């Protein structure tokens, strides 16, 4: 019986702590070990029990594995019911606080990486994309519009093209050094607004943009689905999303060389995030680039 299996799986304090944590965040084993402050062998044993019971999912990403609570079905309903008792447990709140600090370290690490590589970004992009002129491909899809936002704008290569045929452009990035380079490029331009911020919590008003572009950014984020939802929030009804992302791959060197958190994003998963956020089913175009990678460009409209 499912109920008996679920109850047995949660009949241990460590597994309760794991479920509480993984209902809120997707974490790898090392991060879970740090959040719960216990040995890896112990954590791995309890993760296996929860996986076998059907309460957890695991996402394989190259050599890494990320764990999270299942999102639907009887197992999720069971955990949602048990979760009503979670908030009163101080130890569970301590676990969550440590996990959130670990996730913040991811954000800081990504920001520091891009601050460091900002002067070399043009070369790194060329090494990665080869003959694909991605800013050109994206700007062609944007066309003329009133307000376009480039989320994760970097030094402003795409913004430069968008500014040529949009009345106003907004660039958002979390790297101060990247934005400094963009400010130098657009000094004195009143039609270009540069804003520092995270893609999961955008410094834009609801429905502020007519077109949003996200170019090769989601694989750097801990919660890319939230970034897609934020893009939908800042778009006007009928507004367009143009999104470039690597298809899922196994090139581990991308983690060190380009600061990637994910080895691309599965196209089916990205479509589901877009539709869940409020976008129509996207149209997709594929481009083969260097290192055996594939860049996918998605185009969709906010419903």
State how far the Cα of 296 lies from the Cα of 40, in Å rounded to an integer: 37
Of 289, 107, 285, 282, give the one whose Cα is nearest residue 197: 107
Q: What residues pair up with 171 in beta bridges, in sequence order?
A: 150, 194
Structure tokens belonging to residue 124 = 């790194």
Total count of residues recorded for the chain: 303
| Cβ-contact 68, 55 below 8 angstroms | no
Domains of the chain, by residue range, sit at 2-88, 119-301
Among 218, 212, 180, CA closest to 198: 218
At residue 115, the pLDDT reads: 87
For residue 159, the model assigns a pLDDT of 95
Homologous superfamily in CATH for domain 119-301? Vaccinia Virus protein VP39 (3.40.50.150)
Chosen CATH of 2-88 out of 3.10.590.10, 2.60.40.420, 3.40.50.300, 1.10.10.10: 1.10.10.10
pLDDT digit of tens for each residue in the chain (303 aa)? Answer: 899 999 999 999 999 999 999 999 999 999 999 999 999 999 999 999 999 999 999 999 998 999 999 999 999 999 999 988 887 789 999 999 999 999 999 988 888 988 888 888 888 888 899 999 999 999 999 999 999 999 999 999 999 999 999 999 999 999 999 999 999 999 989 999 999 999 999 999 999 999 999 999 999 999 999 999 999 999 999 999 999 999 999 999 999 888 899 999 999 999 999 999 999 999 999 999 999 999 999 999 999
């Amino acid at each position: 019986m499912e109920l008996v299996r679920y109850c047995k799986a949660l009949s241990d304090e460590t597994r309760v702590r794991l479920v509480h944590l993984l209902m809120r965040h997707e974490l790898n084993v090392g991060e879970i070990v740090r959040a719960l402050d216990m040995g890896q062998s112990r954590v791995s044993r309890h993760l296996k029990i929860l996986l076998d019971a059907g309460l957890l999912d695991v996402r394989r990403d190259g050599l890494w594995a990320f764990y999270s609570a299942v999102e639907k079905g009887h197992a999720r309903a069971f955990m949602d019911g048990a979760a009503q008792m979670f908030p009163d447990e101080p130890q569970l709140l301590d676990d969550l606080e440590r996990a959130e600090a670990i996730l913040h370290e991811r954000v800081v690490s990504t920001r520091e990486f891009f601050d460091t590589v900002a002067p070399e970004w043009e070369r790194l992009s060329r090494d990665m994309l080869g003959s694909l002129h991605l800013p050109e491909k994206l700007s062609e899809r944007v066309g003329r519009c009133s307000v376009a936002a480039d989320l994760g704008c970097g030094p402003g290569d795409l913004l430069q093209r968008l500014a040529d045929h949009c009345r106003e452009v907004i660039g958002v990035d979390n790297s101060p050094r990247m934005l400094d380079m963009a400010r130098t490029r657009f000094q004195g331009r009143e039609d270009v607004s540069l804003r520092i911020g995270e893609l999961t919590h955008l410094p834009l008003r609801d429905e502020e943009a007519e077109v949003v572009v996200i170019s090769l950014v989601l694989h750097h984020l801990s919660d890319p689905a939230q970034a897609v939802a934020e893009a939908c929030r800042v778009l006007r009804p009928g507004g367009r999303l143009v999104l470039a992302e690597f298809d899922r791959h196994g090139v581990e060197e991308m983690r060190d060389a380009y600061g990637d958190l994910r080895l691309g994003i599965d196209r089916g998963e990205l479509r589901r995030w877009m539709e869940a956020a409020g976008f129509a089913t996207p149209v997709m175009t594929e481009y083969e680039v260097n290192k055996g990678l594939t860049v996918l460009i998605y185009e969709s409209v906010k419903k």
